[in-house]
Chains A and B, each alone.
Chain A
C-alpha cells in the first residue's frame, strides 16, 4: 500500500470541521505579580536578584535559574534600558498587511539577564543597537497590571 495522491484539490476531500472551544485565564504567578504590581503602582521595572550567586533576572523569578536558590531580594531597574535588537514587521500572524509597519525590539538592562520585548517608537532609521530607550507608560489611573501598561519604548 502506498499513499495515493489521486485528489490534488484539497477542497474536494471530505472533511469534518471542529474546534477546541476553550479559553484561558492565566494568573501572573508570584514573580509576575511583583513585576506587574510595581509597574502599575510605582511605574518601575522590578528584577529578581539571587543573594547566593548574584544573578539578576527580568522578568523577576521566585528562584534563581542558575543555582536554584529561592529569591529573597527584588530590585528596581527604573524604566530605562538598552535596545538589544529590533525589527520592523509588515504582516500580522494571519498574513494581513499592517496599515503601517510595527517596530518591535528587545530591551535589556545592564548586568541583568532577560529583557522586555515590546513596541519601539520611531522609524527604523532612527534606531541603533545599544541606544538608550525609556518606557512610555500609560497614566497611573489607566494601568491594569498588564504588559500594555507600557505603551512603548522610545529614545531616551
Chain B
C-alpha cells in the first residue's frame, strides 16, 4: 500500500500510582529512558518524537505537549503532541507509525504521560465543559451520567444483568495482580463488584477504573533499523482510527460503530479477514467494565451481544481461546488516560515477544490488537501488531 514497514523495538512503563511525587515531565523521562534502553538506543538516535496526552486541564499545565518535551526526549527535534481524548494512547503509536511509515524518519519515540492527581477536587471537573454549553451544561451533566446511560442501553439491548458485566472487572482486576505497574490490583470477587457502592445506576464503584498518574513509551523503527536492533521486532501490521458525531444522544449507544470502522481500517491494512479467528490476544479499552464487552463487539471479535457470555465461559481469560486484557487493563492496572492506551500496546508487544512473564498467554500468539476509545463516546483507535 506504499507504506514502509514499521516495528516496535522497545517499550517502557512507569508504575501507575494514585499520586506521583514525580512531575509529568519526570514520568515521561522514566518511561522514555526505559524504552530507549530496551531498544539499545541513545537519545541522539531518535529522529522524531510524538507525545500523546489528555486535556491540559487534567495536569493543570497549559500547553502540556511543550511542557513534556524535554522529558520525552524532544528537545531540538521534530516534535509534536497528538490528542484524540481517551483514544490518544493508541493514537500516539499510530501517529508515530505515520512518521516512520511515510519515510519521514527511521526512528520515532512515542511517549504518553498523564498526571491526573494534580486536579482537585476531582478530574471530572475538567470534563464539565465537554457537554454542549447551551443545551446540556445547564442541566449539570457529569461524565458518569453518559457512561451510565450507555451501559444501561447496552445491557437493555442484549438483556444483560449487572453480574454479566461485572465479570469483566473481576477478570481484569485479578489479571492485574501479575502486572508490575498495577495501581490497585485487588483480588476481587463478583460479590465485591456487585456490592460496591452504587454511584450512578447501573454503575458501581468497582465497575470503574481508578484515575492514576503514569507514563508509557515505545520506540518505533523502520524495517532496516529494526532488523539491525533486534531479532524480535513486533510489526505494526495495521492502524485505524475513526470519530463519530458529537451529537452523542442521537447515536445507537449499544454499539460503537466508530470502533468497528476503525477496526475495519486496521484489519484491511493488516490483511485480517476473520478477526475473531485471526486475532489471538487483544487489549480493548476498559475504563468501565461494560466497555470491554462493547469494544469486543465493535472490534468484530465476537457477535453483537455475545461478549458477556464468552466472558462468563472463560473464553476471554488469560488461558481462554481469546485472551482479552491479559495485562489487567485500565480496570486493574489503573487509568492514566493516554498512558493506559499505550500500556495496552506494550502488553501486546510483550505478549507477541513472549516476554509477558506471569501474564504470558499460552499458544505463542502471532497476532494481537490494542484499542482505545474516548471523547463524548466518539473515537475509536485500533492498532494490529504481528510477530
Contacts and interface: CB of A to CB of B under 8 A. Distances in A.
Q: Do chains A and B touch in the complex (CB under 8 A)?
A: yes
A29 B32 contact: no
Contacts of B44: 67
Contacts of B33: 63, 68, 70
A120 interface: no
A24 interface: yes
Given A22-B57, A30-B21, A67 B75 contact: no
B22 interface: yes
A145 interface: no
B80 interface: no
Contacts of B125: 20-22
Interface string B24-37: 01100100110010
B60 A22 contact: yes
A67 B138 CA distance: 51
Given A16-B133, A65-B75, A29 B70 contact: no
Contacts of A27: 19-23, 118
B43 interface: yes
A33 interface: yes
B200 interface: no
A23 to B, nearest CB: 5
B22 A63 contact: no
Q: State which size class the interface on A falls in.
A: 20 to 34
Contacts of A33: 21
Contacts of B160: none
A29 B137 contact: no
Interface string A65-87: 11110100000000000000000
Contact of A62 (B29, B121, B134): B29
Contacts of A62: 22, 26, 29
B57 A16 contact: no
A26 interface: yes
Contacts of A65: 70, 75
Question: Which of A16, A33, A61, A65 lies at the interface centre, i.e. has the most chain B CB atoms within 10 A of its CB?
Answer: A65
B126 interface: yes
A33 B36 CA distance: 26
B120 A23 contact: yes
A95 interface: no
Interface string B345-371: 000000000000000000000000000
A26 B133 CA distance: 29
Contacts of A61: 26, 70
B119 interface: yes
A111 interface: no
B18 to A, nearest CB: 12
A16 B134 contact: yes
27 contacts: A16-B133, A18-B128, A21-B128, A22-B57, A22-B120, A22-B121, A22-B123, A22-B126, A24-B119, A25-B118, A25-B120, A27-B20, A27-B21, A27-B22, A27-B23, A29-B22, A29-B25, A30-B21, A30-B22, A33-B21, A61-B70, A62-B26, A63-B33, A66-B43, A68-B29, A68-B32, A68-B73
Interface of A: 16, 18, 20-33, 61-63, 65-68, 70
Given A29-B21, A63-B33, 7 more contacts: A22-B119, A27-B20, A27-B22, A27-B23, A30-B22, A62-B22, A63-B71
Interface of B: 19-23, 25-26, 29, 32-33, 36, 42-44, 57, 60, 70-71, 73, 75, 118-121, 123, 125-126, 128-129, 133-134, 137-138
Q: Which 4 A-B pairs have the closest CB atoms?
A: A29-B23, A24-B60, A68-B43, A22-B125
